[in-house]
Structure 1
Amino acid sequence: MSDTVTAESINRRIDIRMSPRDLINIGLFGALYIVTVGIFNLLEFINPVVTLLSVAASIVAGGVPFMLFLTRVRHAGMITVFAVIVTGFMILIGSPPIGFAVGVAAALVAEGLLWLGRYRSPRASVLAYAAFSAWFIGLFLPLFYARDEFLSSSYMREMGASYIKQFDTLLSPAVLLGFDLATPVFGLIGGALGVQLLDKHFRKAGLA
């Protein structure tokens, strides 16, 4: 009995050791994820309605490179470092600092879900991406507690006065709350899309 317990404990322990290959994969797929998300987010300059649509689309599209990344993940810590890279980059281009904390918290939840699935469960991988996608909530979180400061930030001023007015009208607290609650749903869709493409295309091509 003790031998069995010991074996299970060894199998379930959280290993956070990073190899050079792990770090390369994190950097490579982190960059691919940022580019994929960034392509859709460029549409936000059109108007605030498109901003919300582009964020939803970027979450779905981001599921593809993220699922490819998960085929390289073998232990805890990799998703958290991935989140640090992604949210750190977002701060550099003008996103609110609170997004970093939200991103790390979302990554830790994703780490737990992936670990429970032994890093091989497609279902756990989809759930992990849905949890990870919650980092997008941090992009608009200051609108709940520092709205005026957010709307007067240099990033928003670049959009123009008309855009800011429309943005303020559209993104009411109720709309933001609804969008935040929908974020994991977009993540589930993106994760499912990523799994489907892995099975149909990437594995055949030897990429997963």
Structure 2
Amino acid sequence: MKTKLTTKDLIAAGAFGAIYLVVLTVLASVVLPIVPVLFLATPLIAGIVLGTVYMLYAAKVPKKGAILILAVLVGLITSMSTYYPLLFSVIWGILAEVIASRKERRSAGMLAASYVVFNMTSMGSFYAIIVAKEAFLENCATYYGADYAAAFDALTPDWIVAVLIAFALIGGLLGGLLGKRILKKHFEKAGITA
């Protein structure tokens, strides 16, 4: 198997990246922000929903760098108001690459494990809560109104970051396992083992 990304791989990365980003954006920007509590569940819900897309992407583009490309795309889209999501997405993308490469991308289990880490990218704008909560709340007020920002502030004490990380990891685990199960036949055809 060639290890370098080809033009065909980059096109596939772009296509799957677009699917992944559209679903993530719809969830994080349209559906879940209606109620602040649901917005806080974005890492969990997005992780479950997007696990299959990630697993199919990892199977279709089994080259080093492909997962990092997807992480950078997610980081760029979620970095509209601050650079923190991009920075953290690159970190999670590199870690997911390392995990996926442990068995030369021939293990669906390792791909699912890499998705657990990769799903930390779904926290996107929540990274601003860690380093710049006031600016984050100002953005919330601008886009959703002062009442929404006040409700969100009340729902996000300092310890909420641990809950968001747990949501992202659990969502990644459930999404990775669901993706592995749904794509079992596809993995077998591609020569990827459970």
Band the TM-score falls in, shorter-chain normalisation = 0.7 to 0.9
2:136 pairs with 1:150: yes
The TM-score normalised by the length of structure 2 is 0.88
2:163 pairs with 1:181: no
Q: Is the 8 A contact 2:105 2:111 kept in 1?
A: yes
Q: Say which is worse superposed, 71-80 or 133-142, in terms of deviation.
A: 133-142
Distance in 1 (alpha carbons) for counterparts of 2:122 and 2:157? 17
The TM-score normalised by the length of structure 1 is 0.82
Distance in 1 (alpha carbons) for counterparts of 2:124 and 2:32? 17
Structure 2 gaps, min length 5: none
Distance in 1 (alpha carbons) for counterparts of 2:32 and 2:141? 11
Provide the residue aligned with 1:48 in structure 2: 36
Provide the residue aligned with 1:35 in structure 2: 22
> Which aligned pairs between 1:106-121 and structure 2 lie closer than 5 A?
106-121=92-107
* Cα distance per residue 1:20-74 (max 9 Å; x no partner): 1110110000011112222322223312101123442111111011111011233
2:83 pairs with 1:124: no
2:73 pairs with 1:88: no
* Cα distance per residue 1:131-180 (max 9 Å; x no partner): 11111334212222321122113x54110011000000001111222221
Provide the residue aligned with 1:8 in structure 2: none
- CA 1:191–1:95 in structure 2 vs 1: closer, same or farther (change >3 Å)? farther
Structure 1 gaps, min length 5: 1-10
Bigger radius of gyration, 1 or 2? Answer: 1
Distance in 1 (alpha carbons) for counterparts of 2:121 and 2:51? 13
Give the CA deviation at 1:96. Answer: 2.7
Provide the residue aligned with 2:155 in structure 1: 170
Amino acid at match of 1:164: A
Q: Is the 8 A contact 2:141 2:147 kept in 1?
A: no
Amino acid at match of 1:52: L
Distance in 1 (alpha carbons) for counterparts of 2:62 and 2:130? 37
What SS does structure 2 have at the residue aligned with 1:71? helix
Amino acid at match of 1:74: P
- CA 1:182–1:45 in structure 2 vs 1: closer, same or farther (change >3 Å)? closer
Distance in 1 (alpha carbons) for counterparts of 2:112 and 2:5? 23
Q: Is the 8 A contact 1:37 1:59 kept in 2?
A: no
Higher relative contact order (CA 8 A, sep 6+): 2
Q: Say which is worse superposed, 110-119 or 94-103, in terms of deviation.
A: 94-103
Aligned residue pairs total: 190
Amino acid at match of 1:22: D
